[in-house]
Structure 1
Amino acid sequence: MTEQERRVKAEQRERFDFAVIANWIPPGERVLDLGCGDGRLLRYLSDTRDVSGYGVEIDQESVLWCIRNGVDVIQMDIECGLSGFEDRSFDHVIISQALQTMHATEGILTEMLRVAEEAVVSFPNFAYRSNREAIAAGHMPVSEDLPYDWFDTPNVRFFTIADFEQLCARLDIDIRERLAFDEVGREVSIDPNLNGSLAFYRLGRRS
């Protein structure tokens, strides 16, 4: 696959991801997008759901792209927590395909549900069928949802749908909804830990 083809596929996948998340965000909400990159998700939500809010990003170049995209952005390291935000100051906090790049996984999830009524999390499922096949063949997997080679990946956590749900149970986090999709964007319901390449969650506090 050429670099151009990879870029086109990544953009198509990104639009798909944005649409899934947008379906969970009611119009007019206040949203915080963690690890927002260049701000395209928040821009999409602003255009399609009339949301307001902020992106949070540490990378200087990405912060500049947020500004170019008309997104309000705060440059900070979310690994250090969200102490700058008051309790329940947002309706939704989102971390889209970035949790696997974080070290402070538990703290980030806990903080998300402190500052918002609900959290939305998406991540690549390391237990997906083709990833298992790659490991069985003696190689680290490379796929549309895990597109990096082992030597240049930004990912520091390689976890599965089953792992994530186990962590939510330990942190007393309520899983309100889960969606899983294969690499071509088909929703899967049978054994998502095996058949789902990408997972999306709506999370809340347990009452």
Structure 2
Amino acid sequence: MSKLKTLRPDLQYIADWIPPQSRVLDLGCGDGELLAWLAVQKEVSGYGVEIDVNGVVGCVANGVNVIQSDMESGLSTFEDHSFDYVVLSLTIQAMHNIEGILQEMVRVGKTGIVTFPNFGFWENRWQILMGRMPVSETIPFEWYNTPNIHFCTVNDFAKLLNKSGLKIDHQLVLNQGEKVEFLPNLLGSLALVRFNKV
């Protein structure tokens, strides 16, 4: 296995939420960075799901079990409650069937964890006010080359979970890796939400 990386701040917060020896499914896992770290530091077992070939190769190099699949078609490969945690980090905004994937996350896992860029962040609002689509650290693409198709705010996501019969267990909002507690929908650039069924 390659040398263990220091995790991005959002991934470190996710790792802090996951107890030792948990079973974890990481959707859109990239090169498996989170699962590799959890396996070494917390003896976590699990799988990554990744569609990109380079990500799959990275997972294999990092010693992570990975399935190459498009999660848009569902998670039918996995039985109910196969995992303790199902993670979807910085991917939900690029998905077509958001409600479907949220339901699938809590079907195959006990708890879901989602992270997403907060479109309500003041810098994004300012760029729109100035007549431009936002480009930032958490939304790094131009409007014409972005994989993102659904932007939401912290408040929008909470409303969607409620509508979908899901409840927030814990929520963190970050800006440049630091927690934002005052006016998080305005001052936070990235949201982390842990949720489960009502």
Pairwise TM-score range, normalised by the shorter structure: over 0.9
Greater displacement, 131-140 / 42-51: 42-51
Q: TM-score, normalised by structure 1?
A: 0.90
Q: Which amino acid aligns with 1:198?
A: L
Instruction: Give aligned-pair identity as a percent.
Output: 51
Deviation at 1:185, TM superposition (A): 2.2
Deviation at 1:61, TM superposition (A): 2.0
1:106 lines up with 2:109 in the alignment: no
Deviation at 1:190, TM superposition (A): 1.8
Q: Which amino acid aligns with 1:40?
A: E
2:149 is aligned to: 156
1:196 lines up with 2:196 in the alignment: no
Mark the runs of 5 or more structure 2 residues left unpaired by the alignment.
Answer: none
1:118 is aligned to: 111
- Within 2, Cα distance between the matches of 1:23 and 1:64? 26
1:205 lines up with 2:193 in the alignment: no
Q: Deviation above 2 Å: which 4+ runs of structure 1?
A: none
Q: TM-score, normalised by structure 2?
A: 0.94
Deviation at 1:186, TM superposition (A): 2.3
2:163 to 162, 165, 170: 170
Deviation at 1:65, TM superposition (A): 1.4
Greater displacement, 146-155 / 166-175: 146-155
1:179 is aligned to: 172
Q: CA RMSD in A?
A: 1.3
1:51 is aligned to: 44
- Within 2, Cα distance between the matches of 1:203 and 1:196? 19
After superposition, give the CA deviation of every residue in 1:142-194 in whole Å (9 maximum; x if it has no partner). Answer: 11111111121111111111111110010010100100011x22211122111
2:18 is aligned to: 25
